[in-house]
Chains A and B, each alone.
Chain A
């Protein structure tokens, strides 16, 4: 309960400081509902090696609402619910349709398209509620809205938590 309040108020201060550049968002991608089965390899993972070891690919904690991937999220962080930033907790079901955001990774200076996949089939996790609305649009833009329950196409409509999956590098306009 308090975290919900805190986050609402916290958002007011945070939004100014954390405005990531939005220019990388491909409009064309906005019309596509990203499927979990079509996830490409994490681009930064391909760079694993001596150079990758020297420079961190991501910084920050994935249980922190300020973590870079969560720029357009609204919900309970799966990292606090038995899952991780990009996986669902045990026994839940990942929604195959999602909304997307474009977030700036400060560790490598790139913008990434993030697919926010809800994990479904159990009651609300209740931990680490996080609301950040950068790039969020009203539900008449379903591809860019975090205001709906994305447990769609799943066997259960019961929302549990939200994961944030990197699905590609955002193209510069």
Chain B
């Protein structure tokens, strides 16, 4: 009798639930065609991750990641393509990202097209393009110094290596090529004042070209020799604080060069390592960075100093320096291994590092050095260069 009563009660309860389900209103019909947008200026915790797609280079891309979030759905903000080992630079004052790409009309064959693609930061849409002289632009492992903004972000300077070297100047307001500046024997672009650029030369000097208001060449001058590209090479990738570029060297020194709108001026070099650390040297791809506190960061390898062929291997620690005091202020031991790094802007810098053992990216606190989180599974394959949002 009791069992029968319980059965009836359960049946009644179930029927009530079913009734409630039946009367619950359905989901509202949703509009289609809604496309997300992004803030005009990306927050400080955002990074741009350049996946060069080393195994299928025409499919390169740049992910926009919010590293403050904890799930993939919240971390990935968007993406834009970057074909054939392209280069890019943010121009936040213009609300644009400037990307240099190469295409062939039949994929890997056909006519070659080199193009500056201009993306707007809010919609991540290609809003304009400038066709570049074909077959000139630098195409290689991603570099921060392949592109520079000049003249208050109105001009874009594009490094060419064909293998003759030069710089193509583009007026971003008129979307037109202004001209080409030859830099024979000298490579990359280091902004030098608002109307000047410098380049590193194979003979151990630095070329500086100053420009007129119309983009024509005003003057050029070479520095004294300050390194030997065979026996004591410097990396082409400096950390930059204000007007001083800090070039790490293969032998564990750092070579500062003042770029103040006139001839590049090499300053006295100093050692990154202390007593008992003589085997350490910078190593990796994106091996350095800087923060808004004026500190500089280097990816360091404990076996690289004096060992030929170790300069691209990456490292196990990041060392942070106060360059004015020439003093190391922090060591950041990495969870596994590092290949490239980038530092976020602001008073509380974070460091994002490519971990080549699983091709994830890892976030560290730039003040304490502590590990924060690993970000992975966002579609990345070979995230070779990282950049903090500007």
User: Could you tell me which A residues sit within 8 Å of B by CB distance?
Assistant: 1, 4-5, 8-9, 11-12, 15-16, 18-19, 22, 27, 30, 33, 71-72, 74, 97, 121-124, 126, 131-142, 145, 147-149, 152, 155-159
Contacts and interface: CB of A to CB of B under 8 A. Distances in A.
A157 B139 contact: yes
Interface in B226-240: 229-230, 233-236
23 contacts: A1-B55, A1-B359, A4-B54, A8-B313, A8-B356, A11-B312, A12-B301, A12-B313, A18-B309, A19-B309, A71-B309, A97-B163, A123-B107, A124-B57, A133-B312, A133-B313, A136-B311, A139-B187, A140-B236, A142-B161, A142-B202, A148-B138, A149-B139
A19 B303 CA distance: 14
Given A138-B229, A158-B104, 9 more contacts: A4-B55, A11-B309, A15-B309, A139-B187, A141-B202, A148-B161, A156-B104, A156-B110, A157-B102
Contacts of A121: 108-109
B56 A124 contact: yes
Contacts of A4: 54-55, 356, 382
B143 to A, nearest CB: 8
A131 B301 CA distance: 17
B188 interface: yes
Interface of B: 54-58, 84-85, 102, 104, 107-110, 112, 135, 138-141, 143, 161-163, 165, 186-188, 199-202, 229-230, 233-236, 301, 303, 307-314, 337, 339, 356-359, 381-382
A100 to B, nearest CB: 13
Contacts of A145: 140
B188 A140 contact: yes
A128 to B, nearest CB: 12
Contacts of A97: 163
Contacts of B188: 139-140
B104 A157 contact: yes
A126 B57 CA distance: 11
Given A33-B163, A124-B55, A159-B57, A140 B359 contact: no
Nearest to A25: B230
